[in-house]
Copies of this chain bind each other. A is one copy, B any other.
Amino acid sequence: MASIKDVAAEAGVSVATVSRVLNGHPSVSADARARVLAAVEALGYRPNAVARSLRTDETRTLGLVISDVMNPYFTELARSVEEEARALGYSVVIGNADERPELQDHHVRTLLDRRIDGLLVSPTDGGSPLMLDAARAGTPMVFVDRWIPGVDVPVVRADGRAAVRDLVAHLHRLGHRRLAIIAGPAATTTGSERVEAFREALAEFGLPLPDVCIGQGDFQAESGRRVTERFLDLPEPPEVVFAADNLMALGALDAVRARGLRIPDDIALAAFDDIPWFVHTDPPITAIAQPTGELGRAAVRALVDRIEGRPPQSVALPARLVVRRSCGEPGEGTPAQSPVPAQSPVQRSKP
């Protein structure tokens, strides 16, 4: 592969001059520039980014460590991150932690070794020493979706409180009183915050959240299935299951179907995270939608601000409730107090 030396020889100039024209440095004669460009063209020369990075100490690359690529929510997040990064002149390399702390560490380490300019992470756990050290050592970092309290790192996330409250109001209106939740890992902020928001909303409506109605999941489908089976085995099973993410909702669906039960007649289901398939499931699933694309873009902007020396900003964007049919139709249970208009199935929460 042609190097800068070859180009210099071909153009009859020094490598310094070649470097200058390649980097748009102003002080190059038109003649030299033309000869260099011609040589570049003739040799099909492409600068070696590895060498450049070693010299400039920047890779124009962002690392993104997410908890689970197979989760459509994170896939979409990754996509919007890449788009915004590309627009700002950065590449992104993705590490999939698969909800496993040791895999998360593997990726953080690899990314750091490659000297990425900054790190976007959605932590799988409370934060490993490796990650915390990197943050303290000054590696530009921002948390996205999930975060770690007590660390001085900007956070870009959705605020689901109002939407969860809207969901509980919706369930209450339909006459449901015994509600259960499939929670995410307590070590993650999204894991604990969603349970808390749910508990608070229930309290507001005078409803209890007994321990047997809190199932411990891990944000993956299999755990949703397992927890749902336990719910169904209860002497007094819940009337509603709220899955704290879309994959656990998929697992719950599997479990319900395996028992030959029907939604919402036998049991109602709602999910945190909205995905295109929820429109087509049997029945369509009521969900809380995050502004995923916006989150990804905001996270990149915050990280690049940090990298380029501008003060980065934390962001919290409101999630919103999307009512479908998996919790019952207004009128099926207690008469609806404020019926959802059939024409507009999307109900926005007021931020």
Interface residues of A (CB under 8 A from B): 1, 44, 46-51, 53-54, 59, 69-70, 72, 75-76, 78-79, 82, 86, 91, 93-94, 96, 106, 109-110, 112-115, 133, 137, 221, 250, 253-254, 257, 276-277, 279-283
Return chain B residues, CB-CB under 8 Å to A46: 109, 112-113
Closest residue on chain B to residue A113 by CB atoms = B49
Q: Is the CB of A93 within 8 A of B93?
A: yes
Complex CA gap A93/B51 in Å reads: 19
Q: Which of B48, B53, B96, B250 contacts A280 (CB 8 A)?
A: B250
Complex CA gap A54/B114 in Å reads: 12
Chain A interface main SS type: helix
Nearest Cβ in chain B — how far from A172, in angstroms?
26
Complex CA gap A50/B57 in Å reads: 9
Q: Is the CB of B59 within 8 A of A70?
A: no
Q: Is the CB of A115 within 8 A of B50?
A: yes
Q: Is the CB of A78 within 8 A of B69?
A: yes
Return chain B residues, CB-CB under 8 Å to A115: 48-50
Q: Is the CB of A50 within 8 A of B59?
A: yes
Complex CA gap A134/B299 in Å reads: 34
Complex CA gap A106/B276 in Å reads: 28
Nearest Cβ in chain B — how far from A259, in angstroms?
14
Q: Which of B50, B70, B75, B282 contacts A281 (CB 8 A)?
A: B282
Return chain B residues, CB-CB under 8 Å to A54: 48, 50-51, 54
